[in-house]
Amino acid sequence: LVNSAGTTLFRSLTDLDALDLDDFLGIYAVNAVGPYQMTRAVAPHMDAGSASVNVSSIGGLNGTGSSYAYAASKGALNTLTLALARNLAPDIRVNAVLPGMIEGKWLLEGVGEDAYNELRNKFAGDAALERVATPAQIAETVGWLAISAELLTGQLITADAGLLLGRPPKVLK
């Protein structure tokens, strides 16, 4: 099972009034409740040795992203991953992939070309590997967790090119 559905509204994190209750609950429903409902429906039909992978975000670790609801829902998804991994073991492995910025039209259309290019340059410049992820790279990580990572469960795998890790100051290089 791969829970990869996600949604957001691009709203400033400096504006507490940017999302109303319905907006917040709608984002939370897709990003946190949806994976729970899918797992609940599918788990009884999964064979021993199966895996479930949730697609989360580093925003769920550091409270960043496109909106408060997005960050909160991805944080909830991370905690849900841990609870499911503990309780579905030993038959089903449950892990999550936490991307940083992913290149592509979703973010480009969400923030516009100028902001997209600024974000891409900023994230790539701050990441230890000096780049951002592609959708194919995230899919490869999801596939590895689902198929090959037989000893991993309850793991929150950051796939962010070292963005959370960061780079040392130039004076220390």
Residues carrying an active site annotation: 70
Amino acid at 146: A
| DSSP-derived secondary structure for 47-101 | PTTEEEEEE--THHHHS-SS-HHHHHHHHHHHHHHHHHHHHHTTTEEEEEEEE--
What lies within 8 Å, CB to CB, of 35 at 6+ separation is: 3, 5, 54, 77, 80
How are beta strands 50-55 and 2-3 bridged, if at all? parallel
Secondary structure class of 112 (helix, strand, coil): coil
